[in-house]
Every structure is written in C-alpha cells, then in structure tokens.
Amino acid sequence: MYDCVILGGGPAGLVAGIYLARLNRRVIIADGGRSRASLIPRSFNHPAFPDGIPGRDLLTRMHAQIQKLGVEHIANCADRVEQVGGGFQCTVAERIVDSRAVICATGLVDILPPWRDAPELVRKGNLRICPICDGYEINGAAVVVIGHTRHALKEAEFLLSFTDDVTLATLGAELQDISAAEVREPLRLATSPLLSHGPTADDRLSLELAEGRRLEPVAVYSALGYRPRSSLAASVGVKLDEEGRIPTDAHQRTNVERFYAAGDVVTGLNQLGVAMAHGEIAAVAVHNLLTGAAP
C-alpha cells in the first residue's frame, strides 16, 4: 500500500514526488514519458536560469532528484483507476498499485497543425505554442497565429504586446464563434489554405498560401487548442470544467475524496512555475490528510 500514486511525470508530478519523498511518504510515479515540458526548446522565463533551460534538461534534473530520493517510477501511463475502500487501485502496465491517495498530474496535449514534422518544429522552436513563455523573444518580429476560433483571436491580440505585425491565419478553415469583422487592425486575417511550410533561418518559418502569398520569415504560433488528459480522473467521478480540465480548491483537492490534481490538467495558467507550485501544494495536502492534520 503506497501513501500516494502520482499519475504523470511532468513538472507537477515530479515536484509532488520530491516533496512527498522528503516528507517520508511512500510514493510511486506512473508516467509514460509524454510530458508537454519535453517539447520546450528553451524556457527563458523559468526562475534561476538567466540563459534559459531546455524542457528536457529540466525534466532530467528532476528525474535525477527523485531517483536520489528513492521514489519508485513506472515508465508507463496508468490504464485504469478505481476507488477501493478508502483509497484507490491503479492498473499500470498490468501491475496493480494500491494507494491511500492520488495526485493526477497527467497534463494536456496541444493540438498542432496537421503537419508530419509539427512536434519536431515545436522542439526546435520553429513552431510555438505559448506566447506567455516566449513572446518576449519575438519582440518586433512578424508573427502568424494559426487558428480559426475566438481562442486564436485572443492569442493574436495578446501578441500585440510584443509586435504590431500579427496575422491570424486560418489555413483554409472556416471561422468559428468569431467573424472576420472582429479581426481589427493592426491585426490581419489570412484565410487561404496552406500549400507548404518550412523552417527558415534561426527559429522562424516560411508559409506559402494558396492565394500566391508567402509569409516569411515569421514567428508562428499554433492556437488550435488542446486536449486535457483527464479521462482517468473522470472515470472515478472527478468533475471537469467545460474545457475538460479539472477544477480544484486552494489545496489542489477535487470533488473526489483523496483525489488531487496538479499542473496543466488543472483549470488555470499553463506555466512551469504554476505546475510546480501545484505539485508542492498537493503533496503537502496529501501528507497533512494522511496525518490527520488536513484543514
């Protein structure tokens, strides 16, 4: 019987594991190695790294830390979670794991353009997914935001904090929940399908549109949305918000007793620092619960 099983080994899950281990809790992490953080080419807004740090390097450092603390790790995602008595039973790669509590840190998956090389372009920094993370690095550059919804329009408007050269490109998709009239200057709208794309110098892309127009070199953001990995949580009765993410209270508790959530799968801001803070809060809350000191 483990004190806690952590579902997911991104920044939130790994930090939760570190904290629980240092609170002398028996903890196990089930992780399939698909953390969104692994796609980050280099984060420049993560504290204490003035020259930035690649997402994979950050995860490697945290993995080394949990190994040093003796945290058990299963290199697979959980297949099933069930409530059993006052705790939980998780099935991970045909192994049954019983625990007194669960921290769900399963994250989310960004919806990228339907390009075979899209994930690799994200890793190299040619295709961007977070203007909060790296908008500062494109100050003054020409920017293209790929999307056709209000979410994409809001992202394009947000990027006006860094440049006045922003184009919302639907790549042939019809606008949803917005009209062309809402794309106001200095924003521009391009609705033509895409003929080709490719990297240019540095971290920019070239986009060739069917209308005969070529946009290059441009900093390209994908604003096609995301899919939260919240199905395991939902399977035990955890309530989800309209986006499929998990609302929690100030202690990362969900509506299901002893089931906590942390990181990008939780409603709120998708940032490394926020995910890590969630992991810390959830770990301490689990420890206090198990000692009978929970608020």
Q: What one-character-per-residue DSSP string does 138-172 give?
A: GTT--EEEE--SHHHHHHHHHHTTT-S-EEEE-TT
Q: Do 105 and 230 have their domain in common?
A: yes
Domain endpoint, select from 167, 194, 222:
222
- Is 128 found in the same domain as 168? yes
Q: How far apart are CA 71 and CA 63, in angstroms?
A: 9
Least confident of 23-27, 120-124, 289-293: 289-293
Tell how strand 194-199 and strand 205-209 pair up.
antiparallel
Model confidence at 140, pLDDT cuts 50, 70, 90, reads very high
For residue 292, what pLDDT band results from cuts at 50, 70 and 90? Answer: confident
pLDDT score of 201: 75
The answer to whether 103 touches 261, Cβ cutoff 8 Å, is yes
Q: Is the dihedral of CA 265, 268, 269, 273 positive or negative?
A: negative
Residues 176 and 189 in one domain: yes
pLDDT at 103: 98
Same domain, 205 and 232: no
In the chain, % of residues over pLDDT 70: 99
User: Is the same domain home to 126 and 216?
Assistant: yes
pLDDT tens figures, 255-281? 999 999 999 999 999 999 999 999 999
Name the residue among 124, 146, 152, 235 with its Cα closest to residue 192: 146
Is the pLDDT score of 289 beyond 90?
yes
The CATH number of whichever domain residue 165 belongs to comes to 3.50.50.60
- Answer whether 0.85 is exceeded by the pTM: yes
Please tell me whether residues 216 and 244 are part of one structural domain: no
Query: Using the 8-state DSSP alphabet, how is residue 199 labeled?
Result: E
Q: What is the mean pLDDT of residues 235-252?
A: 97
Indicate the number of domains in the chain: 2
| Residue 294 pLDDT | 67
According to DSSP, residue 162 is labeled: T
Cα torsion at 214, 125, 167, 177 (round to 10°)?
120
Residues 28 and 103 both lie in one domain: yes
Q: 124: pLDDT confidence band, cut at 50, 70 and 90?
A: very high
Question: pLDDT tens, 60-117?
Answer: 999 999 999 999 999 999 999 999 988 999 999 889 999 999 999 999 999 999 999 9
Domain that holds residue 99: 2-109+226-291
Mean pLDDT calculated for residue range 194-210: 92
DSSP state letter for 2: B
| Domain shared by 247 and 104, yes or no | yes
Are 95 and 144 in a shared domain?
no
Note whether 215 and 231 are same-domain residues.
no
CB atoms within 10 A of CB 290: 17
Q: Do residue 170 and residue 215 come from a single domain?
A: yes
**Which tokens go with 11?**
């920044």
